[in-house]
Amino acid sequence: MAAAPVWSVDPRTGKQREQVAVEATAQEVDATVRAAHQARGALADRTVRSAFLRSAADELEAAKSTLVEAADAETALGPVRLTGELARTCYQLRAFADIVDEGAFLDVVIDHPDGTATPPIPDLRRYKVPLGVVAVYSASNFPFAFSVPGGDTASALAAGCPVVVKAHPDHPGLSELVAKVLRRAALRHGLPEGVLGLVHGFEAGVELVRHPLVAAAGFTGSVRGGRALFDAAAARPVPIPFHGELGSLNPVLVTEAAAAERAEEIGTGLAGSMTLGVGQFCVKPGLVLAPAGAAGDRLVKSLTDAVSDTDAGVLLDHRMRDHFVAGVAERAQLPDVESPVTPGAGGEHTVSAGFLTVPAGRLAAEGEHDLLLEECFGPVTVVVRYEDDAEVRAVLSRLPGNLTATVHLSEEEGAGQGRGAEILGELTPLAGRVLVNAWPTGVAVAPAQHHGGPYPATTSTSTSVGGTAIERWLRPVAYQNSPQALLPRELRDDNPLGLPRRFNGALER
């Protein structure tokens, strides 16, 4: 039977544009993974790796106009958004190149023998080595930053791991173009094309996570799809790490004092955050706790005005559009749920932004309103009106894990008066990033960033953004009583590579 074709589809019309590939067979997945496995040795030199990452950024920038045009045709995200995302992606590649050059990610620790310790300490030398081939599953909503050239790929290559990407069906044509660009950069430094493999198709994605030469996987997508792959990774004869980002409500708490102080500003800011990118950001605020009194009414009015002025938009594909329309309709029919601005179908191919409100008491205990505690992908949020702190605590206690949690405080609360510090303590168990008087949309690529959170936000405690994302693809190895001549150069006393390290308990740089 002939392999199924892979079509590029225009989300603005739902029509097929062109066939760009065919779905990979099990044999083709095997060949791609084996080529990546054979490329491991070529990535061993850190100087070559960092140069490759920088060249990849250079090549992507050189092809910017072609890539942005292709991305817009398949995602409808718009040239401005996509140009910015490509710039972020190139910055990320160069940031990981800097990390590779510095070498601190190797976490070198050397302890000389100490017979006076109890028990005695032998000669021990520890550092981190790459896991092997990494499978990367592209996201639909970030065709650059969380796709073929994105953070999972960049951090895995930086760690010294070849990558096989499972292309997302929403932008297969762009995926092919970007893979060619990255392979061109690899060839500039004598690296084989196998360092970056690409496969298409649902079954190919399943075969990939099961392949015995795949050592780890990174995923960004739905809870359902991510959990299926996570379970497959765990069910292998040799289980592998699966770093999945699955779903997040990103709750926001607005204190009564904050609403009294600046309700209109908060309402406008919320509208901008929840509708950004047609509500297709993984950190979109999907549930907002706002007071039930007059200050909360002002916030809701401001949100109503701002959302009402938002134009209808195109989602990434028609399947997502159908899920959004059905999802908001089902939520709106629940008892005591109101729709100040009704979300739903904005046209044959578009959706309109809106929001729902519900009394906090409806979410304080298990019931049919639990549907409101599930992520709804698209331009909608749920405003939960609370009467007192007890209702706030009751709702927070029922929330699943999240990527972010936000609190808006008054000026006095931010200065330490009132429950500000207590609220931060209540939000910390819920999320990997806690914000104060800000909005979660927009994830800075910075050393201190953490993009992850308790399940179902992610399946591990690691981050997929920021320098420490490289740690996902490494494992520590300790050598005991090895002669200097046999040691890797990274672990020798004379430190020929000039690496940051901890030497006999002292940090050396």
Active-site pick, 90, 161, 282, 376 = 282
Q: Which of 335, 333, 338, 386 is nearest to 359 (CA)?
A: 386
Q: What's the pLDDT band for 509 if we cut at 50, 70, 90?
A: confident
320-367 tens-digit pLDDT? 999 999 999 999 999 999 999 999 998 889 999 999 999 999 999 899
* Cis amide linkage into residue 454, ω under 30° from 0: no
Order the strands of the 338-341 sheet from edge to edge: 338-341, 354-359, 380-386, 287-291, 251-254, 402-408, 431-436
> For position 131, what pLDDT does the model report?
98
Tokens of 447: 């050393």
- Find out whether 286 and 250 touch, Cβ atoms under 8 Å: yes
Catalytic residue among 245, 256, 375, 413: 245
> Residue 56 in contact with residue 181, Cβ under 8 Å?
yes
Helix/strand/coil percent split, the chain, to 5? 45, 20, 35
Pairing mode of beta strands 163-166, 196-199: parallel
pLDDT average, residue stretch 41-60: 98
Chain segment 17-45, per-residue pLDDT in tens: 999 999 999 999 999 999 999 999 999 99
**DSSP conformational letter for 54:** H
H or E element that contains 231: helix 223-235
pLDDT exceeds 70 at position 160: yes
Q: Which helix (H) or strand (E) holds 355?
A: strand 354-359
282 is catalytic: yes
Other CB atoms within a 10 A radius of the CB of residue 322 amount to 12
pLDDT of residue 347: 86
pLDDT at 1 over 70: no
pLDDT, mean of residues 406-410: 98
Cα–Cα distance measured from residue 114 to residue 120, given in angstroms and rounded to the nearest whole number: 6
One-character DSSP codes across 3-41: PPEEEEEETTTTEEEEEEEEPPPHHHHHHHHHHHHHTGG
| φ and ψ of 244, to 5 deg | -115, 135
All domains of the chain, ordered by start, with CATH?
Answer: 24-246+461-473 (3.40.605.10), 251-436 (3.40.309.10)
pLDDT grade, residue 140 (50/70/90)? very high
Catalytic residue at 161?
Answer: no
Examine residue 456 and say whether the peptide bond preceding it is cis (omega within 30 degrees of 0): yes
Average pLDDT, the chain: 96
Residue 242's DSSP bridge partners are 217
Which contiguous run of DSSP H or E holds residue 137? Answer: strand 133-137
- Average pLDDT score over residue span 99-116: 97
Residues 57, 210: contact at Cβ < 8 Å? no
Question: Which of 253, 339, 332 has the alpha carbon at shortest distance from 296?
Answer: 253
pLDDT of residue 2: 65
What's the confidence (pLDDT) of residue 417?
A: 87
Segment 7-11 shows an average pLDDT of 96
pLDDT at 489 over 90: yes
Q: Which of 146-150, 498-502, 505-509 has the lowest mean pLDDT?
A: 505-509
